[in-house]
Chain A
Amino acid sequence: MTPAIKIILLAALVIGAIGLIAAVILHFVSKAFKVIEDPRIDEVAEHLPGANCGGCGFAGCRALAEAIVKANSLEGRRCPAGGDMAAIANVMGLEAGESEPMVAVVRCNGTPENAPAKVNYDSLPSCQFASSVYAGASACPFGCLGCGDCVNACKFDAIHIDPTTKLPVVDEAKCVGCGACAKTCPRKVIELRYKGKLGRRVFVSCVNKEKGAVARKNCAAACIGCGKCAKACPFEAITVVDSVAYIDFTKCKSCRKCFAECPTGAIHAVNFPPKKEQAEQAAANATENIPSNENENK
């Protein structure tokens, strides 16, 4: 044997021996320190969207999967963002139960037309900062500031600022109801509400708690707290607190009696088919009007 071959053989033997010893140690260590993970966690996580939006209240999708498996129950542990709850229930051997799909609703009607701007804001495009330096362009201290913190918070590209109304518009097809926008809004203008049958829902598009005359001064479409809607509602779904009406979406049956009563147009009813005479008019204007995704029956 030449010396070179000797060296190569020796090296191979030494490395091989170290490898063997390490393998034996690792074998026993892995037995001694074995982490037993429920295989169902991976299976559950597979049925979740993986966007880690946090809409469920947990840190991310995997955290929700772990919580479901650990508690062995789906109670209060639902993915609002399009996770396949039926498949998860199947994995866990549980009942999926029913859950009403939710959607983010912007409750402000302060368009430049309704609430003309009195001052200009030229600083940082951040609602949180804007809210710390002024009450708003229209002087309404409750309404949308329009800087788009909600747009930045949305992980699903489902909310955008409309350039003409200067208000956020929710894309219902994309919104999963995780509530990230509602959480970030410093004015609490955005609310999660039941999506409703065929997307039809009725809500008060104003959160201004000022007295009617004051609110009306800054915004033509403000809720003035007159209470006509509450009187009209056959289901006791409407309450008026602090001069602003609120429609409880768990009680609302979308009858639209309140919508007809509202003197300022603060109540919005969306995705309803237009009434006959309005439909004719709409057909006549169809060439001029570009349909918006929040079809307001005005």
Chain B
Amino acid sequence: MKTFRLGGIHPEENKLAKKVVVENFPIPQQATVFLSQHLGAPATAIVQKGDKVKVGQLIGKAEAFICANVHSPVSGTVAKIEPVADFMGYKKPAIVIDVEGDEWDESIDTTPDLKEEITLTKQEIIDRMKACGIVGLGGACFPTHVKYMVPPDKKVDYIIVNAAECEPYITVDYRMMLERAEEVMVGIEAMLIASSAPQALIGVEANKPDAFTHLTEVAQKHPKIKVVKLKTKYPQGAEKQLINALVGRNVPNGKLPIEVGCIVNNIATTYAIYEAVQKNKPIIENFMTVSGKSVKEPRNFRVRIGTCINDILNTVGIPEDTGKIISGGPMMGKAMSNLNAYTVKGMSSLLIMNEKESTRGEVYECLRCGKCVHACPMGLEPYMLFAFADAQRLEDCEKYGIMNCIECGSCSFSCPANRPLIDMIRVGKNKTGAMIRARK
């Protein structure tokens, strides 16, 4: 079985909501839609207070190059446009919509039938991705259409679909593979047309054998698509690691996957592309796992964007011994300080950690045991970067490759002295990045 070459760790899987079918979460009374749900510049609001909007109607327009359109996830009246606190507590511009009924925009095909035949051309597909505000749903939320604007001197050899789902607890991608495999395949076909690539590879980790079997069966109808089983190891879902595991190529430092002829998309993104291309439906919903060891019934939801996080949590019930609630997985997610925040594109999990799990251990001095070096999938020396970042030796940080860090957290996970390696490296990376930018 294939896997990536350097480092990696084996966290406890805890895929608690594995057997739970994805349910539709009720439409909220009021939806708060942030104008910046993606990497890059925020979108510009094109509606005003008092305007009537329908589900799927464009309400935030992308004006910069790296930016994505924002659509209304509900139908109703725009109540206000003002800064609202996100889950970290920082205010960001948002459109608040009072929900009335559930009336969809006429251009959207709302039938549930599978539509296999793709009638759009290459450019039309890319334009559709842009129009529908498709972003990378693996977590980074990078506008997808930008990925498909391949420079003329580059050629795409592989479309790589990330179905590794290497983060513990999260199960929405697994459910997607079991419940929506046909749609995903059509989405990949559209991606193949958009990129002119000859083939696509789907990487599935070995801890999901039923998903692998099901996908392989469905893929038989699609000769260009191959499903590959990967050895279970974190962070297999990271772009560079996945390319290394599947095609054995190494993305040079500081470069994008297109450099080695690959485009990587998450499986949730391929489904969003299917909906955009075949149904003209923009991203207005999220697939979300709500899980945790002390949660009575871990669930998988399909949630409208702009739903209050507190409402979702209350549906499953917040246990009494809750220590932290994390947006995203336990490895790369962020603990939330404000639960009265709203769902955004790419938010794939709400993880409720109990007091015991979430308490940090006592921090000791570095033992120089080298476990972090062994674990680092980028071949860095985290203990060294920690020391350099702590001492503000930014030139050394740069020399030792701090900018290559993918912030996967394998170093902190493996440290027997409980040192907050990744936290300090993030600080160092920010400062070093600022230093490099100032040089230009």
A residues neighboring B (CB under 8 Å) = 118-119, 122-124, 126, 128-129, 132-136, 139, 141, 210
Return the CB mask of B406-427 against A: 1 if under 8 Å, else 0.
Answer: 0000000000000010011011
- B337 close to A139 (CB less than 8 A): yes
Q: 5 closest pairs, A vs B, by CB? A: A135-B89, A134-B337, A124-B423, A119-B337, A124-B420
State how many angstroms separate the Cβ of B110 from the closest Cβ of chain A.
Answer: 39
- A139 close to B89 (CB less than 8 A): yes
Our pick among B89, B91, B426 for the contact of A136 (Cβ within 8 Å) is B89
- B85 close to A132 (CB less than 8 A): no
- B426 close to A129 (CB less than 8 A): yes
Near A by CB (< 8 A), chain B positions 93-144 give none
Residues of A within 8 A of B91 (CB): 141, 210
Residues of A within 8 A of B294 (CB): none
- A129 close to B337 (CB less than 8 A): no
- A126 close to B424 (CB less than 8 A): yes
B404 at the interface (CB under 8 A from A): no
The DSSP consensus for interface residues of chain A is loop
Complex Cα–Cα for A129 and B334 (A)? 12
Complex Cα–Cα for A133 and B407 (A)? 14
Residues of B within 8 A of A133 (CB): 88, 334-335, 337
Complex Cα–Cα for A118 and B339 (A)? 11
Return the CB mask of B277-309 against A: 1 if under 8 Å, else 0.
Answer: 000000000000000000000000000000000
Q: Could you list 18 further interchain pairs (A-B, Cβ under 8 angstroms) beyond the known A118-B337, A135-B338, A141-B90?
A: A119-B337, A122-B360, A123-B420, A124-B424, A124-B427, A128-B427, A129-B423, A129-B426, A132-B426, A132-B427, A133-B334, A134-B337, A135-B85, A135-B90, A139-B337, A141-B85, A141-B91, A210-B91
Our pick among B88, B424, B426, B427 for the contact of A134 (Cβ within 8 Å) is B88
Beyond A136-B89, A139-B89, is A123–B337 a contact (Cβ under 8 Å)? Answer: no
Whose C-beta in chain A lies nearest to the C-beta of B389? A126
Complex Cα–Cα for A135 and B85 (A)? 9
State how many angstroms separate the Cβ of B197 from the closest Cβ of chain A.
Answer: 36
Residues of B within 8 A of A132 (CB): 426-427, 430
Complex Cα–Cα for A133 and B334 (A)? 7
Residues of A within 8 A of B423 (CB): 123-124, 126, 129
Return the CB mask of B28-71 against A: 1 if under 8 Å, else 0.
Answer: 00000000000000000000000000000000000000000000
Our pick among A128, A139, A210 for the contact of B430 (Cβ within 8 Å) is A128
Return the CB mask of B344-373 against A: 1 if under 8 Å, else 0.
Answer: 000000000000000110000000000000
Residues of B within 8 A of A128 (CB): 427, 430-431
Whose C-beta in chain A lies nearest to the C-beta of B424? A124
State how many angstroms separate the Cβ of A53 from the closest Cβ of chain B.
Answer: 14
- B360 close to A134 (CB less than 8 A): no
Residues of B within 8 A of A123 (CB): 360, 420, 423
Whose C-beta in chain B lies nearest to the C-beta of A134? B337
State how many angstroms separate the Cβ of B329 from the closest Cβ of chain A.
Answer: 16
Beyond A118-B337, A122-B360, A124-B420, is A129–B427 a contact (Cβ under 8 Å)? Answer: yes
Complex Cα–Cα for A132 and B334 (A)? 10
Residues of A within 8 A of B427 (CB): 124, 126, 128-129, 132
Complex Cα–Cα for A119 and B336 (A)? 9
Complex Cα–Cα for A133 and B333 (A)? 11
Complex Cα–Cα for A124 and B426 (A)? 11
State how many angstroms separate the Cβ of A246 from the closest Cβ of chain B.
Answer: 20
Return the CB mask of B166-177 against A: 1 if under 8 Å, else 0.
Answer: 000000000000
Whose C-beta in chain A lies nearest to the C-beta of B421? A124
Complex Cα–Cα for A132 and B423 (A)? 10
Residues of B within 8 A of A210 (CB): 91
Complex Cα–Cα for A181 and B31 (A)? 42
State how many angstroms separate the Cβ of B421 from the closest Cβ of chain A.
Answer: 10
Complex Cα–Cα for A230 and B89 (A)? 30
A–B pairs, 25, beta carbons within 8 Å: A118-B337, A119-B337, A122-B359, A123-B420, A123-B423, A124-B420, A124-B423, A124-B427, A126-B423, A126-B424, A126-B427, A128-B430, A128-B431, A129-B423, A132-B426, A132-B427, A133-B334, A133-B335, A134-B88, A134-B89, A134-B337, A135-B89, A139-B89, A141-B90, A210-B91
